[in-house]
Chains A and B, each alone.
Chain A
Amino acid sequence: MTVSADDSLHDSGRPAPTARLFAALRLLRATAAGRIVGLALLVAVLALLSVYPLSMLLYGSLHSTPPGMAGTFNLDGYRDILTRENSITLVNTVGISLAKTVPSLALAVLLAWILARTDTPCRGALEVLVTLPFFIPPILTAMAWGMLGNPQVGLLNQLYQAITGSSAAPINVYSYGGVVWHMMQYSVPFLFLLIVDAFRAMDPSLEEAARMCGASRLRTFRTITLQLMLPALTGGAILSFIRGIENFESPLFFGAPAGIHVITTDIYDSINQRSPPQYQYATAVSFVIMALLFLIVLVQWRLLRGRSFATVSGKGYSPGIVRLGPWRWVTFAVCMLFFIVTVVLPVGQLLIGSFFKFFGFYQWDMLTFEHYEAVFGSSEFWRGFGNTMLLGLIGASATMVLGGLVAYISVRTKWRGRSLIDAMAWLPWMMPGIVLGVGFLWGFALLPRAIPIYGTIWALLLAYISLGTPLSVRVMSSAYAQLSFDIEECSRVHGASWLTTMWRIVIALSWPSFVVGWVLVFFGIMRELSASVLLYSIGSEVLSVVLLKLWVNGNAEQVSVIGLMMMVMVILFRWVQLGFTRRHLGTL
């Protein structure tokens, strides 16, 4: 990790407000009472963000009427869960997630092996391209695939018909296959990012030893490489499975039109599509999905306990690179094909869709700019854009500051109560966006009227911070864990106060991770749909909600325009992030 000196060493003439802040912090730090006040404040903030919505969920699931209305307490919500349709929903949820995890894992292992362990050309660039789909908001690719794979007018079916001359439409994304296919576009790069370092960091002599024992390359891969990777693969697969259960966009876009329901869409429907909204039922179902996730986390914990192998030796070897000869162009093609299918096709569809008068009718005389004019002239678009940007900037900054504080306390201090803080910050991880949305919905409705937060963008902000905190804590924890205690202690020994040490050493060395985490949280906010769609109201729409509304109204052309704008932003941000990471952290 390199940090330029001028960033950490501008000491002389520190501005006055900072000095005052330092003085206040010093007071907090100086006394045991001050520390307790600070900790209590942090606990209160975390409680508001995680414990409050969770307890409101419990309250809501037992309460017979919608939030804010007088009602009685009963177990009707839970009783309503026990129906035949719901058992199908549960099987769908688990089945779809399994069906996408297994092939995703196989594909991710193949891609990770190609990019980490072979001499395939342009591996650096390919790695960026192959991981790009992960950063694209799922709502965009969902809409693009809705157009590409539409059984009536989809571009792919039109192409097929033009080539073969038949009138059959072989591709229909509104199906189980469509849901799984759309999820895979995210889980493959997600799994790839999780496992590629395990491939890269493996001590090559573990494999060379097998070859010296007479094992062929294939046998070595099967009996050594893959076996050593097993803990990393299992861990990744379980995480991917959890994300599959939490997934909202894929079943909403491709499942619901075909009558395929999963738990997340069931929650959404019972609030947004039923009249009157079934709040009690939705909350009760939220508990079911959380129980399911909790069960999986328990299984994961049991499976992986003590099963992580330290395969990295001290020696800074590069991993053994397999020379593929002419086959390296085949592996190159595999990676490019993945990129084309997951990025180029959807982006191309958005591009095409944005220039033709009507989606599905691609003739020269249908070319038009009117959708661009309509979008840029629409106040709703600009409001959504402004809200997304504002929430992204404030939300990402607040989340990272909070995560940095929590991580510092849990990693680098021995204070009592630090595990409580850590656990509270981790809690939202167990709550899919839609569930957290329901929890906050209840929470805001039950706040006293003096705090009119419901229906403002600050409601969304709280939900975003809550959703992003587990990630920010993880990023900052690993950054702090890399700093040896010696560095901090050395500064103290040389006479620096705790605050100076924080400022000059800890922050100076961990800010690159802060920036990387910030961008990740920003991405998360930009793509968030499931909580936003429950918590927005007129005036506080974010871009993803604007898109969804346009899509539901059948305005695929304007969706294409906005989607294209967002795609440009994603690629820009990812590019800046990659450049920054390379410069300051040395690795991807």
Chain B
Amino acid sequence: MSNVVLEKVSRTFGEFAAVSGVDLRVNEGEFVTLLGPSGCGKTTTLRMVAGLEQNTGGRISIGGRVVSDAARDLFVPAEHRALGMVFQSYAIWPHMSVFDNVAYPLRVRRVGRSDMRRRVLEALQLVEMADYADRPAPALSGGQQQRVAIARALVFEPALLLLDEPLSNLDARLRAQMGSEFRALQKRLGITSLYVTHDQEEAMALSDRVVVMQAGRVLQIGAPEDIYQRPASRDVANFFGSPNLLPATVVSCARLSDADFALSVRGSAWEGTCHAGEARAVGAEVLVLVRPESMRLAEGTAPATGALSGRVVQSSFHGARRAVTVEVHGSLMHAEVPATASLSEQVTFTIDEKAAWALSA
């Protein structure tokens, strides 16, 4: 019912294309996150789904009904789309009580008094705010406002929930807690959700699928694991953490399944095996993606084949792990090692080849 379909959706402001040619399908009950740096068009995309912004190209349909089609000049405004939305600033109305805030959508829909009271309290119970119903809205903390905003968005049982960076104004500890609470609620209600964030960890922790956007375009759509371990491009790989990209030449290529190929490669500093999503010709140039946590500190000093040796340039302690920057043949590489490991000035690393991934150079 609540499939959201975006077909070639674009939005231009004069000469500037904020969003260009976005294709996306969100399945029923799915939690999809639009992820990207600020200015990548993710919020504009969400606002076009909401009906707060009109798309200048393409078509948007929600639940099988076309709500916006630039070609036919069709546009259903926000108030007639019946979607729930949680704003970055929460947009809790300060001149109303918590109850009145949540009751507003029902008042607009002329729901009867007793029915309204029951539904508002139910919605507040969902977010554990029923005790605060009579509080004036300005007396709430950030986290509480967030909960009220969610209750208000859910109270009229919309088919789709839109969330625009809802956690970015909270402090780190509360952000993690609210995130997992919201995900649990979303799963329990089975409500289709479209979520916008610039925080890659948040996106990976919460979503069924992640849409990585840059400069108004979709770079990759996939499950968080795929996006992280098998990125489609260098830009997507760079978006998460500080990856190592080793230039290498393909020596051989073997097909394991439709989308999994085993390559053996040789680079200037390192040779070994890695995986790829498509067949690569022998002799082709690739970049091998190695995440810092796939770098293994080697025991002993004898450099085996497939090992990298270098000098420790910088080392910082992060509790469970230690982040190390190593200079190998003039280029810097990042590694994460157990905090208990003893480091000498010269270190040798091996690479977890199961996690190494080839990208087009």
Q: A residues bordering B, Cβ < 8 Å?
A: 203, 205-206, 208-217, 219, 223-224, 227-228, 230, 309-311, 313-315
A313 and B164 CA atoms in complex are apart in Å by: 15
Minimal Cβ-Cβ distance residue in B for A230: B95
A49 and B78 CA atoms in complex are apart in Å by: 58
From the candidates B91, B156, B169, name the one contacting A214 in the complex (CB within 8 A). Answer: B156
Known: A310-B94, A314-B169. 20 other contacts (CB 8 A): A203-B89, A203-B91, A205-B88, A205-B89, A208-B50, A208-B52, A208-B87, A209-B149, A209-B152, A210-B93, A212-B52, A212-B78, A212-B153, A213-B104, A213-B105, A215-B108, A219-B108, A228-B94, A309-B94, A313-B89
- CA of A210 to CA of B92 in the docked complex: distance in angstroms? 10
**Residues of the B chain whose Cβ atoms lie less than 8 Å from the Cβ of A227:** 93, 95
CB within 8 Å for A212 and B84 given contacts A219-B108, A309-B138: yes
User: Contacts A211-B77, A216-B79: A224 and B94 contacting too (C-beta < 8 A)?
Assistant: no
The answer to whether A214 and B138 touch across the interface, beta carbons within 8 angstroms, is no
B221 at the interface (CB under 8 A from A): no
Q: Which residues does chain A contribute within 8 Å of B152, judged by CB atoms?
A: 209, 213
Is B85 part of the binding interface, using a Cβ–Cβ cutoff of 8 Å? yes
Q: How far is the CA of A206 from the CA of B91 in the complex (A)?
A: 5
Q: Are A208 and B94 in contact (CB under 8 A)?
A: no
Known: A212-B78, A213-B105. A228 touches B93 (CB 8 A): yes
Q: How far is the CA of A205 from the CA of B149 in the complex (A)?
A: 12
Please report the C-alpha to C-alpha distance between residue A215 and residue B82 in the assembled complex, in whole angstroms. Answer: 10
Closest residue on chain A to residue B168 by CB atoms: A315
Pairwise interchain contact B87-A205, C-beta atoms closer than 8 A? yes
CA distance A573 to B296 in the complex (A): 73
Report the separation of the CA atoms of residues A311 and B105 in the bound assembly, to the nearest whole angstrom: 20
| B79–A224 touching, CB < 8 Å | no
- Are the C-beta atoms of B91 and A209 separated by less than 8 Å? yes
C-alpha spacing A211/B50, complex, angstroms: 10
* CB pair A206 B105 closer than 8 Å: no
Question: Are A214 and B108 within 8 A (Cβ)?
Answer: yes
- A219–B80 CA distance with the chains assembled, in angstroms: 14
Name the CB-closest residue of B to A309.
Answer: B94
- How far, in Å, is A446 (CB) from chain B's closest CB? 52
Report the separation of the CA atoms of residues A548 and B212 in the bound assembly, to the nearest whole angstrom: 73
Q: How large is the interface on B (under 10, 10 to 19, 20 to 34, 35 or more residues)?
A: 20 to 34
Complex Cα spacing A217 to B169, Å: 28
Closest 7 A/B residue pairs (Cβ): A213-B105, A209-B91, A313-B89, A205-B87, A205-B91, A212-B85, A309-B94
Q: Which residues of B contact A206 (CB under 8 A)?
A: 91, 93
CA distance A173 to B136 in the complex (A): 49
Interface residues of B (CB under 8 A from A): 50, 52, 77-80, 82-85, 87-89, 91, 93-95, 104-105, 108-109, 138, 149, 152-153, 156, 162, 169
Measured CB to CB, the nearest residue on chain B to A229 is B95
Determine how close the nearest CB of chain B comes to the CB of A179; give it in whole angstroms. 36
Partner of B82, one of A214, A223, A311: A214
- Interface contact A315-B104, CB-CB below 8 Å: no
Given contacts A213-B104, A214-B79, A214-B156, contact A315 B84 (CB under 8 A): no
Contacts of B83 in A (CB 8 A): 212
B109 nearest CB neighbor, chain A only: A214
Per the bound structure, the CA–CA distance linking A208 and B109 in Å amounts to 17
Within 8 Å by CB of B79, from A205, A211, A311, A314, lies A211
B106 (CB) vs chain A CBs: closest residue: A213
Contacts of A209 in B (CB 8 A): 85, 87, 91, 93, 149, 152
B91 contacts A208, C-beta separation under 8 Å: yes
**CB <8 Å contact, B79 and A215:** yes
- Name 20 A/B residue pairs within 8 A (Cβ), A-sorted: A205-B88, A208-B87, A209-B152, A210-B93, A210-B104, A211-B52, A212-B83, A213-B105, A214-B105, A214-B108, A214-B109, A215-B79, A215-B104, A227-B93, A228-B93, A228-B95, A230-B95, A313-B88, A314-B169, A315-B89
**A570–chain B nearest beta-carbon distance, Å:** 38
A-side contacts of B87, CB under 8 Å = 205, 208-209
Least CB separation from A317: chain B residue? B89
| B89 with A213: CB separation less than 8 A | no
Closest to B103 in A: A213
Nearest-neighbour CB distance to chain A for B127, whole angstroms, equals 16
Residue of B82, B83, B94, B149 ringed by the most chain A CB atoms within 10 A: B94
Residues of A with C-beta under 8 A to B108 = 213-215, 219
Docked Cα-Cα span, A216 to B78, in Å, equals 9
Docked pose: A209 CA to B50 CA in angstroms = 10
- For A231, the closest partner residue in chain B by CB is B95
Nearest to A228 among chain B residues (CB) is B95
Chain A neighbourhood of B109, CB < 8 A: 214
- Assembled-state Cα–Cα distance A227/B52 (Å): 22
Q: Which of A210, A213, A219, A224 contacts B156 (CB 8 A)?
A: A213
Q: How far is the CA of A240 from the CA of B102 in the complex (A)?
A: 36
Which residues of the other chain, B, contact A210 by a CB distance below 8 angstroms? 93, 104
List of B residues within 8 angstroms of A310 by Cβ: 94, 138
Contacts of B153 in A (CB 8 A): 212
Bound Cα distance A205, B90 (Å): 8
Known: A212-B83, A213-B108. A315 touches B88 (CB 8 A): yes
Contacts of B156 in A (CB 8 A): 213-214
Question: B78 to A208, Cβ gap below 8 A?
Answer: yes
